[in-house]
Each structure stands twice: as C-alpha cells, then as structure tokens.
Amino acid sequence: MKPGIHPPYRPVVFRDRAGAFAFLTRSTISSEKTVEWEDGGTYPVVDVEISSASHPFYTGTARVLDTAGRVERFERRYGRAR
C-alpha cells in the first residue's frame, strides 16, 4: 500500500440499536461518538439500524411469501389477460 493515502485502520465498535448487540472490529470508518468497551478501552462507536442480531433472516423470523397464491388470487379477481 502507498503510505499516506489511506484512512487510518483502527478498532471501532458497531452497535445495533434494534437488537441491543455490539461488536468490536477494525474499520476505517470515523465517528465522533465513543464508548467504553469491556476491555476498558475507549473506541469510536457507529450505530447501525440492523445487524445479524436483529435481521429476520439470521434470527429465524423471516416470512416466506406465497407468490403462487397471489397470482392465482389476482387471476380470480381480475381474470386472465389474453
């Protein structure tokens, strides 16, 4: 890598506001907010709306849509286009 052209790569806490879940990782993202982590260190924190702790796919609460039933219901209501 060329020196001096890349943003600093440092530890950052990502916090899921919906799932009350946070994890420490490394990133180039910057934030004005900080949080004290379990190890006693203070790190920048980035609040995210959704993560694996709150996403329906990962939590097992995802719904499967019945697209075939929707098509049949539409055809019954409005008839089949010819």
Token pair of 64, please?
A: 């499967």
Pairing relationship of beta strands 42-48 and 21-27 according to DSSP bridges: unpaired
State the pLDDT at residue 61.
Answer: 66
CA-wise closest residue to 61 among 52, 72, 70 = 52
State the pLDDT at residue 43.
Answer: 96
State the pLDDT at residue 72.
Answer: 81
pTM of the predicted model, to two decimals? 0.63
Residue ranges of the chain with per-residue pLDDT less than 50: none
State the pLDDT at residue 63.
Answer: 67
CA-wise closest residue to 45 among 10, 7, 5 = 10
State the pLDDT at residue 38.
Answer: 94
State the pLDDT at residue 20.
Answer: 80
